Amino acid sequence: MLLTNATFDFIEQLDHETDISALIAAFQGLIEKFGLNCFMVGDPTQPKVPRDGRMWASTWPQDWLAHWMTQNYIAVDPIINQLLMRNEPIRWQEARGATDEIGVRIFDEAAQFGLVGGFTVPVYTREGVIVGISMGAEKYELGRHDETCLHMAAIYFHAKLERLRARLMPPASTQKLTPRERECLSWVAAGKTDWEISQILTISEQTAHEYVQNALMKLKATTRAQAVATAIFTKQMFG
């Protein structure tokens, strides 16, 4: 009951938060009441595509965060993989039992920085893009009721953070597609696969895939269909 009360107190407090730093501190204070040490929130979509602006906020140990980013673990992290395949919270321990050798190594390395267990929540932006809120601990002992409270708090935290980011940060303009990216996307609109595009344009399949992925990134799209629709709407499909 005490943690339930703490959750609702936190949600009520959000109405009064006008500063991102204070909001982060408030959420950090809440998860500590649940026995968790730190958290990170960011955009895990298209993890194999390098781009800036993925991380929205973090209280991870700085050394672990630097190592995780330097090793480009986002592309192979089992929690990220699970996050993109399901729409329900993830217990780290459960994900560990279903991962490969690289994933096990990431879990083992995280444990060296005090992140032995944890809980990750998927939430969605106004545009329908998935965002992950991942919370870690030296010792994870939360039950289902506690996880439900944290899940609810994370959703409200993300909503407030998204509003503050939209208000305080300058709007990002849509990047223009290159002629090659536009050409590949036009073939996507025609129903062609990466391999078929590669044959039409006499390039490798990997190169065709990279052009399409770059187009998705620039258009802030999560699917090919969404990228095509956005390109048409922004009058980029045909130059």
- Return the amino acid letter for 153: A
Q: Is residue 239 part of a domain?
A: no
Question: Which contiguous run of DSSP H or E holds residue 133?
Answer: strand 130-137
Q: Is residue 173 part of a domain?
A: no
How many independent structural domains does the chain possess? 2
Which tokens is 160 given? 């407030």
Count H helices and E strands in the chain, helices first.
11, 5
Residue-wise pLDDT for 37-96, tens only, equals: 999 999 998 888 777 778 889 999 999 999 998 899 999 999 999 998 888 999 999 888
CATH of the domain at 220: 1.10.10.10
Query: How far apart (Å, rounded) are the C-alpha atoms in residues 117 and 219?
Result: 35
Q: Is residue 77 part of a domain?
A: yes
The SS3 of residue 226 is: helix
- Domain with 119, as residue range(s), is 2-168
Does 16 share its domain with 61? yes
Does 204 share its domain with 131? no
- Cα-based angle 105, 109, 115 (whole degrees, multiple of 5): 120
Does 193 share its domain with 156? no
- Quick one: pLDDT at residue 236? 76
Query: How far apart (Å, rounded) are the C-alpha atoms in residues 145 and 155?
Result: 16
Q: Is the pLDDT of residue 1 over 70?
A: no
